[in-house]
Amino acid sequence: MISRHMKAAPRLAAAAGSLAAFAQSLVSERALEDLWNQRAALRGNEDFDEVLAVTEYAILGSEVTGPRAAEMRLWLALVHHPGVAGEADQAAHERDFEALKKNFALLDWDVKLIVGALAALRGETVHV
């Protein structure tokens, strides 16, 4: 299956310079939060797949660093992880950490590692 990112790749590559500039213009955690919220509003609407891809590339390529920026990038990793499905997928899209913790025992090991990293960024632990 070809992801929406692969379909949009030629157009995104053509716009790489402006995309990089856009990503670098995101200089605050609030800007990343706003971008995530825009991403959430577009999810599931195929007409906006390319815009969704751009928001995700911008979150990844942003100059913003720190725990919140790392957390947001880990959420994106979960959203795109092939082992995340059903309730865990919904939780990842909604950044619902409590739902992931609740179903932690059911997650694959590699997904548990990502959730464990999210827990550490939040000053929490998960029980393996």
* 87-105: pLDDT as tens digits: 999 999 999 999 999 999 9
* 114-128: pLDDT as tens digits: 999 999 999 999 987
What percent of the chain is predicted at pLDDT more than 70? Answer: 79
Question: What is the pLDDT at residue 24?
Answer: 61
- Output the six-digit token pair for 73: 């990038």
Give CA separation, 60 vs 56, 64, 106, 112, 113, in Å: 6, 9, 28, 21, 19
pTM, two decimal places = 0.75
* 5-33: pLDDT as tens digits: 455 555 555 554 555 566 666 667 888 88
Question: What is the pLDDT at residue 1?
Answer: 39
